[in-house]
Structure 1
Amino acid sequence: MGESRILGLYNEQLRYNAQALGFKRVVKLNKNITREILNY
């Protein structure tokens, strides 16, 4: 039982990390787009 619980927590962490990375990527994209618009 303990192992499956740890695996579940690990999967949660992976999912959270993936979401955080995706969010950072989107923010970075938005910053680049904003910069291009301002330079334009």
Structure 2
Amino acid sequence: MVMKTGQYVLYEQKLKSLLNENAKLVINTKHREFSNWKDPSCSS
């Protein structure tokens, strides 16, 4: 139904990379929280 024009494809790629960046951020944050929880002495 949706015509995949060049602009739409570009938008889709941008959206995917944004989601990837978001996922990485979340994972890094969770990892940091977990590390701090494991070793409270080195909390940033």
Q: TM over 0.5, yes or no?
A: yes
Instruction: Provide, for residues 1-40 of structure 1, a one-character-per-residue CA deviation record: whole Å limited to 9, x for no partner.
Output: 0000000000000000000000000000012xx5xxxxxx
Instruction: Name the structure where helix makes up a greater proportion of residues.
Output: 1
Identity of aligned residues (%): 12
3-state SS of paired residue (1:27): helix
Unaligned runs of 5+ in 2: 1-9
Consecutive unaligned residues in structure 1, runs of 5 or more = 35-40
CA RMSD of aligned residues (A): 1.0
Structure 2 length as normaliser, TM-score?
0.68
Superposed structure 1 runs of 4+ greater than 4 Å apart: none
Aligned length: 32
Taking structure 1 as the reference length, the TM-score comes to 0.74
